[in-house]
Amino acid sequence: MLLGLAAFGVAQSAVANDELVKMQQDPNQWVMPTGDYANQRYSKLDQINATNAAKLHPVWTFSTGVLRGHEGGPLVIGDTMYVHTPFPNNVFALDLNDNGKIIWKYEPRQDPNVIPVMCCDTVNRGVAYGDGKIILNQADATVVALDAKTGKEVWHVKNGDATKGETMTAAPMIVKDKVLIGISGGEFGVQGRMTAYNLKDGTVAWKAYSVGPDKDLLVDPNKTTSMGKPIGENSSLSTWQGDQWKTGGGSTWGWYSYDPGTNLVYYGTGNPSTWNPVQRPGDNKWSMTIFARDADTGMAKWAYQMTPHDEWDYDGVNEMILADIDIKGKPTKALVHFDRNGFTYALNRETGELLSADKFDPAVNWATHVDLKTGRPEVVSQYSTQANGEDKNSRNICPAALGSKDQQPAAFSPKTKLFYVPTNHVCMDYEPFKVSYTAGQPYVGATLSMFPPKGDTNLGNFIAWDADKGKIAWSIPETFSVWSGALATAGDVVFYGTLDGYLKVVDAKVGKELYRFKTPSGIIGNVNTYTHGGKQFIAVYSGVGGWAGIGMAAGLSNGTDGLGAVGAYKQLSNYTQLGGVLTVFAVD
Amino acid sequence: MLLGLAAFGVAQSAVANDELVKMQQDPNQWVMPTGDYANQRYSKLDQINATNAAKLHPVWTFSTGVLRGHEGGPLVIGDTMYVHTPFPNNVFALDLNDNGKIIWKYEPRQDPNVIPVMCCDTVNRGVAYGDGKIILNQADATVVALDAKTGKEVWHVKNGDATKGETMTAAPMIVKDKVLIGISGGEFGVQGRMTAYNLKDGTVAWKAYSVGPDKDLLVDPNKTTSMGKPIGENSSLSTWQGDQWKTGGGSTWGWYSYDPGTNLVYYGTGNPSTWNPVQRPGDNKWSMTIFARDADTGMAKWAYQMTPHDEWDYDGVNEMILADIDIKGKPTKALVHFDRNGFTYALNRETGELLSADKFDPAVNWATHVDLKTGRPEVVSQYSTQANGEDKNSRNICPAALGSKDQQPAAFSPKTKLFYVPTNHVCMDYEPFKVSYTAGQPYVGATLSMFPPKGDTNLGNFIAWDADKGKIAWSIPETFSVWSGALATAGDVVFYGTLDGYLKVVDAKVGKELYRFKTPSGIIGNVNTYTHGGKQFIAVYSGVGGWAGIGMAAGLSNGTDGLGAVGAYKQLSNYTQLGGVLTVFAVD
């Protein structure tokens, strides 16, 4: 059956794949949330550059009518911009010929009871386009395909059960004739998986779990490798106690990549559930893992677990940036990944070979280093919440649970060969406690508080990373975490947003600030660019929220609320207020 | 007692009065919602002018975190901007030296049950400044005085009972040592009044009802005049049946003016309750009336009722613009008033003499003219909902209930001698029905639907009015009602906002459009201007709502909902979405 589906897929897939590959090579459009399959978030446009960036200014704006955190960014297909919102996940098709007049809008009706089962704000990271359809992941785990021209529903399917804490925040990615759909809910004991739906009708093409029996994992014990070796039988089951894997997490709420050359899709899995490591002995595979899977069948080619037996909630879901670059001086078909745990990993994306793992924030202290032979981090026992034990407060662990970087995607410029990385500069105290699983109830098992590293006051840095040398090229301190996605362009300028609301443009080579504009609210959206009528535009959502802004977004006030974020970010409300607004910039 | 208060007032009042008079003459600040006591909304600033207006662009923005309709506008006192919101009526002090970083915020806790007793969206038209205090009218009829430097509460008083439908939407006006506070609730049978509170401590200085016994009206039957004659005893009571005056309306939710030369304050009163005219025989005085009252004592000098025995909800609360201009060729200390009923009235503001009354929208059909001898309109029986009777649908009445102009304030330029008037171009069908009064329940007694005048598609016009000649100088059609307040400047440019979200700048002499910018949401706020660091800025709220936008703001969908507004404005959601954002513009 699986083979049959795959065979059918090959014939049709060539078309959709060709379309998206071609469209993403056209810098006049922004056809997928990640910019391209490689997640480079790089544009060949250069009308806006270091010489004229200071002359940028807003040219039109659009309020989404929704207050909470606006992650992701709009798509631009031809003369139409597709704007999405957090819950209730409205979608607007805006007319670029008329300053964003609404062509159509789609306003799903969802049960608001999904809101309390979304751990880290009611965010959504964007819609996908393919084959004339817009694919929307609703918070309540409904996937909807809309006609891109009319906004009418073509099909919808349920990808999970929100009453059990299965929700969706990730953007879909369309690959060939399929759409990849992940699941959120690591804080509710969800069994993570990646599902490929047929774009045509929403039927399931393949489904690959992160944890569980081999058949559910879509692995071949003899052919699927990790650190160069076959993973063997029961690679996941053998790393869990009893049937804990059934509520074992490994959710898939981050960003996905695809390499048409290898036909592999890449994505990371999230934390093992619960956050109390004492309760779940073992490596808890394949949580915290990069998977490389065949796009047609879902079969895993390789896997690499960054953080075995997680003790800190260092989800491995951050984006995999695919780039053909030098690593340690050697030309490489690389996959570069800035992990929550504070290490930048570079791997050979064809083989899964681990080439380097370097701290991208000097504050990182939970591990001394990653052993490139075994792939395992060397944990510092002082910061091991497992070693310190239940009901013990492990102090001053860096990074905090939200990581040295979270979902905020980095960009890569093939011109400068630098990665531009929005980072968090935050540490934590972490106290695990015993928790029992109840479907639909939080299954967290830890309390934490967050704060800047000792001696520092800045909660974030925007850094340029040299992956070849494994070090920071330049770094810009920011008052708060940089929770916005970056954009690099051929104009040798880099764009990012700040939690206190500024869109900033810096020189790609040296990091010098060229322009800033105070948008209506804090920026946690991802900057994109496109042309219209031959002119380059920059677009970004503001709308403070996300995990870092959960205190404001959800109206929390106790310091340890919001999974520890409220305390660290409590000053944020002195800088900005809620409100979802798209701002479009240009140079006149 | 009253004399004692007044005498005390004189001593202290000179100080506060001098401060505000002086401050409003300084065009670098915007010290009151109306710009100045004369409600001219004119600025002597001319850095932005017809030559360079096309180079305007946003320089910073601020989301208020509140979605519903944002009427009014911010104040600018020195380096601080004071921004307010609709319910829950938050106030922000923003630092102009730092792109609007929040200096302090005041977030009242109000019972949300006030929302359903606000007829026409949860709007608020601004805060007042005086004597180091910021005065806030909360929706729930609480008046709060805040320390302008710290945001700490200095005093608060209750100006009404929201459980009876007494709410507040109007901006306070500070005159001498007092603050004038009106009341909303004409749709709930509120007994309208104007109350002057002592700015120092919130104690009541005087209170003047719109309807009721002479002592409550603060009138002198022999000295208070109307149309040049003493109003006589029981001027109000004699125009009501029985004790209907007790639920008789005449609310005071509009704009107030003050003339330091005459020491008179001017304001208009709203509709008589209910909207069913058959149920309340008589002229229903002093609803629909301009009052001129002594600022110290509240005693009325004169009164003029525009719409005796209202049959259409033509509230008389629109602003009184004070200007020394020619009327019919004769130099006049004029009061010019663009009434909901579609007539522009010019009166001698010292004596109350009616000088002219001209239709400012040719569509107006409910009356042929106003008799300048009697002051009474000549009602066209076809459009008399009284004559047609209860449960009869009177069709195609122009203007609709929300008038040829509602609260959206006009501006006046002493340079061009023209008034710049945001107008509605809307007609209605109106069907009165019997209703009985229950405290806190709607006391409307009419259903209506609204639509553009026959043959037209535009629901609004932005017009320049020549009050001397009593005619339109030029007119710009707009898709929707122009629900934003205008600003005129010495740069011979005029600013206004549109319901579909554009800030527009036009040439003051000929109305030619010079600039437009699509702000995040529909504009129902009032444009202001100020300087900072020697540079001129323009500020305006967007945030669609108000009566015209009530369908979107309150999520209504039935055509006759929202007191008839939903049907006419249902296309609005194809242009813009909700969201309160301040946008600040400059020319670089």
Q: Closest approach of chain B CAs to the CA of A92, in angstroms?
A: 10
Residue A189, amino acid = G
Residues of A whose CB is below 8 A from B518: 60-62, 99-100
Radius of gyration of chain B (CA): 22
Q: Do the Cβ atoms of A124 and A106 come closer than 8 Å? A: no
- Ranges in chain A, pLDDT < 70: 1-17
Alpha helices in A1-52 (DSSP H): 2-24
Whether A292 and A462 have beta carbons less than 8 Å apart is answered as no
Which chain A residues contact residue B62 at CB under 8 A?
A: 518, 520, 576-577
The answer to whether A127 and A90 are in contact (CB under 8 A) is no
Nearest-angstrom CA–CA distance, B309 and A584? 51
Query: Can you list the alpha helix ranges (DSSP code H) found in A147-292?
Result: 214-217
Does an H or E element contain B388, and which?
Answer: helix B385-388
Q: Residue B74 is which amino acid?
A: P
Question: What is the distance of C-alpha B184 from the center of its chain?
Answer: 11
Question: Which residues are B333's β-sheet partners?
Answer: B324
Residue found by looking up tokens 């009044």 in the block: B193
Contact of A312 with A341, CB cutoff 8 Å: yes
Beta carbons of A518 and B61 less than 8 Å apart: yes
ipTM of the complex: 0.95
Report the run of H or E that residue B551 belongs to, with start and end: helix B550-553
| Number of other CB atoms surrounding residue A441 within 10 Å | 15
The 10 Å CB-count burial string (b at 16+, else e) for A154-178 is bbebebbebebbbbbbbbbbbbbbb
**DSSP state letter for B274:** S
Name beta bridge partners: A505.
Answer: A495, A515
Show Cβ contacts of residue A243 under 8 Å, excluding neighbours closer than 6 positions: none
Q: Which residues contact B344 (CB under 8 A, 6 or more apart)?
A: B336, B337, B338, B356, B357, B358, B359, B360, B419, B465, B467, B470
Chain A interface, mutation test: which of B52, B95, B518, most A Cβ atoms within 10 Å? B518
CA of A494 vs chain B CAs: smallest distance (Å): 20
pLDDT at B13: 46
> Could you tell me the maximum CA-CA distance found in chain A, to the nearest angstrom?
64
| Dist CA B269 CA B245 (whole Å) | 14
- The span from the CA of B98 to the CA of A193, in Å, is 46
pLDDT at A15: 52
Amino acid letter, residue B416: T
Residues of B classed as catalytic? 313
Mutation choice for B interface testing from A63, A81, A515, A582 by most B CBs within 10 A: A63
Amino acid at B413: S
**What is the SS3 assignment for B21?**
helix
Q: Please tell me the predicted confidence (pLDDT) of residue A9.
A: 39
Three-state secondary structure call for residue B12: helix
Check B99 against A580: CB less than 8 A apart: no
Alpha carbons A322 and A542: distance in angstroms, whole number: 27
Residue A105 in contact with residue A52, Cβ under 8 Å? no
* Alpha-carbon torsion angle B266, B270, B273, B279, nearest 10: 90
Nearest beta carbon to residue A518 from set B99, B518, B520: B99
d(CA B155, CA B326): 44
Could you tell me which of B181, B155, B355 has the C-alpha nearest to residue B256?
A: B181
CA distance A295 to A14: 12
Measured CA to CA, the distance from residue A564 to residue B531 in angstroms comes to 42
Residue type, B403: G
Cα separation, A525 vs A480, in Å, equals 15
List, as ranges, residues 532-561 from A with C-beta within 8 Å of B.
542-543
Q: Is A203 exposed, middle or buried (0-12, 13-18, 19+ CB in 10 A)?
A: exposed
Classified as helix, coil or strand, B420 is strand
Q: With contact defined as beta carbons under 8 Å apart, do A255 and A317 qualify? A: yes
| Spatial distance between the Cα atoms of A282 and A241, rounded to a whole number of angstroms | 7
Tell me how close the Cα of B58 comes to any Cα of chain A, in angstroms. Answer: 6
Contacts of A93 in chain B (CB under 8 A): none
Q: Do A575 and B521 touch (CB under 8 A)?
A: no
Distance CA A194, CA A179 (A): 10
**Are A316 and A270 a contacting pair, CB within 8 Å?**
yes
> Rounded to 5 degrees, what are φ and ψ at A58?
-65, 140
Q: Is B67 on the interface with A (CB under 8 A)?
A: yes
Chain B residue with the nearest C-alpha to that of A59? B517
Q: Say which DSSP state B9 is in.
A: H
Q: What is the spatial distance between Cα B468 and Cα B470, in angstroms, rounded to a whole number?
A: 6
Interface test mutation site (partner A, options B57, B59, B60, B61, max chain A beta carbons within 10 A): B61
E-strand ranges in A17-89 read 42-43, 56-63, 71-72, 75-77, 80-84
Kindly give, in sequence order, each residue whose CB lies less than 8 Å from that of residue B243, ignoring residues fewer than 6 positions away: none
As given in the structure block, the two tokens for residue B188 are: 């709930």
Q: Which residues contact B123 (CB under 8 A, 6 or more apart)?
A: B68, B69, B70, B71, B72, B86, B169, B524, B545, B546
Looking at the complex, report in whole angstroms how far the Cα of residue B548 sits from the nearest Cα belonging to chain A.
17
**What is the identity of the amino acid at B582?**
L
Facing B65 at nearest CB: one of A105, A518, A577: A577
pTM to 2 decimal places:
0.96
Q: Which of B513, B492, B416 is nearest to B46 (CA)?
A: B492
CA distance linking residue A386 with residue B440, whole number of Å: 60
Tokens, residue A552: 């404001």
The residues facing B553 across adjacent strands are none
CB contact under 8 A, B577 and A65: yes
Q: What's the CA gap between A192 and B184, in Å, rounded? A: 55
Phi, psi of B505 (to 5 degrees): -125, 130
Residues of A in contact with B517 (CB under 8 A): 58-60
User: For tokens 């957090």, what's the residue?
Assistant: A86
- How far apart are the C-alpha atoms of B71 and B543, rounded to whole Å? 8
| Residue A373 structural domain | 2-586
Number of domains, chain A: 1
CATH number of the domain at B44, please. 2.140.10.10
- Tokens of residue B319, six digits: 């602003």
Distance CA B208, CA A462 (A): 61
CA–CA gap between residue B294 and residue A332 (Å, rounded):
85
Q: How far apart are the first and last CA of chain B?
A: 57
CB neighbour class for A434 (10 Å; exposed up to 12, middle 13-18, buried from 19): exposed
Pairing assessment for the beta strands B411-413 and B394-397 based on DSSP bridges: unpaired
Q: Return the residue matching tokens 């209703």.
A: B435
Instruction: Kindly give, in sequence order, each residue whose CB lies less than 8 Å from that of residue B417, ignoring residues fewer than 6 positions away.
Output: B325, B326, B466, B467, B468
The reply to whether A62 touches chain B by the CB within 8 Å rule is yes
How would you write the pLDDT of chain B (588 residues) with one tens digit per residue? Answer: 334 333 444 444 445 568 999 999 999 999 999 999 999 999 999 999 999 999 999 999 999 999 999 999 999 999 999 999 999 999 999 999 999 999 999 999 999 999 999 999 999 999 999 999 999 999 999 999 999 999 999 999 999 999 999 999 999 999 999 999 999 999 999 999 999 999 999 999 999 999 999 999 999 999 999 999 999 999 999 999 999 999 999 999 999 999 999 999 999 999 999 999 999 999 999 999 999 999 999 999 999 999 999 999 999 999 999 999 999 999 999 999 999 999 999 999 999 999 999 999 999 999 999 999 999 999 999 999 999 999 999 999 999 999 999 999 999 999 999 999 999 999 999 999 999 999 999 999 999 999 999 999 999 999 999 999 999 999 999 999 999 999 999 999 999 999 999 999 999 999 999 999 999 999 999 999 999 999 999 999 999 999 999 999 999 989 899 999 999 999 999 999 999 999 999 998
Q: What backbone torsions phi and psi does residue A577 show, to the nearest 5 degrees?
A: -125, 170
How many residues comprise chain A?
588
Residue of B nearest to A583 (CA): B520
Distance from CA of B571 to the nearest CA of A (A): 11
Beta bridge pairs of residue A304: A290
Contact A547, A499 (CB under 8 A): no
Question: Which among A57, A92, A521 has the least Cβ separation from residue B63?
Answer: A521
